[in-house]
Amino acid sequence: MQFRTTSAEATREIAAALEPLLRPGDVVLLSGDLGAGKTVFTQGLATALGVTEQVTSPTFTLAQSFQGRMRLHHLDVYRLDNLGEVLDLDLPELLDDDAVVCVEWGEVVIPELPRDFLRVRISLASPREHPDIRMFDVDTVGPSWQARASALAEAWHVHSPSGVERC
Ligand SMILES: Nc1ncnc2c1ncn2[C@@H]1O[C@H](COP(=O)(O)OP(=O)(O)O)[C@@H](O)[C@H]1O
Ligand SMILES: [Mg+2]
């Protein structure tokens, strides 16, 4: 599923539109370069979950937890260079907590994830000419997410493979 947003606010809105589809235990994997919008996406999700605290990039802590309609664990594994450190995060406990788990730079933890997760890849289309345009490439991985793929496309109004634009 592909689409693009043209502002940080639009990215927050598409993240908020995902929230009603989330269930306890869900994992959302966010990838994309520094400044792509992974934290902005997580902020939109957190607000929609009813989290009132400010979600920031957890620079010095690797994981932060928030309470909303469900708990939200926000992990940023940017500074980790090996899987050992990731495992030191108590990842299994966080994954087994009936919470929503959002992982920035999550590629390194894929081997440790449950078989079902939502993979959100964010990239800058043309950084110089259109610095606020972000391309989203979303994969529903595993049966639980595949079953929700059409509901997700509906929530995001993505009705064609070429996607839509959100302003
Ligand atoms: N379409 C967009 N979607 C998300 N963020 C955007 C967009 N356009 C501009 N931005 C800006 O890009 C930055 C994204 O930062 P952040 O979410 O912290 O990135 P990351 O967590 O991926 O490193 C923010 O300053 C945000 O305001
Ligand atoms: Mg970030």
**How far is Cα 27 from Cα 144, in angstroms, rounded to an integer?**
11
| Nearest ligand, CA 76 | 2
Domains identified in the chain and CATH numbers? 2-149 (3.40.50.300)
**How far is Cα 152 from Cα 22, in angstroms, rounded to an integer?**
10
For ligand 2, an ion, list residues with CB under 5 A. 38-39, 57, 104
Q: Kindly tell me if the per-residue pLDDT of 167 is higher than 70.
A: no
Q: How close is the Cα of 62 to the center of ligand 2, in Å?
A: 11
* Pocket residue to mutate for ligand 1, from 7, 28, 40, most atoms within 8 A of Cβ: 40
**Residue 14: what pLDDT?**
96
**Residue 92: what pLDDT?**
86
- Ligand 1 contacts (CB < 6 A) are 5-8, 10-11, 32, 34-40, 57, 104, 132, 134
Tokens coding 100:
């929503």
Which tens digit of pLDDT belongs to each residue from 135-150?
999 999 999 999 999 9
Which tens digit of pLDDT belongs to each residue from 87-114?
677 888 999 999 999 999 878 888 888 8
The residue type found at 101 is V
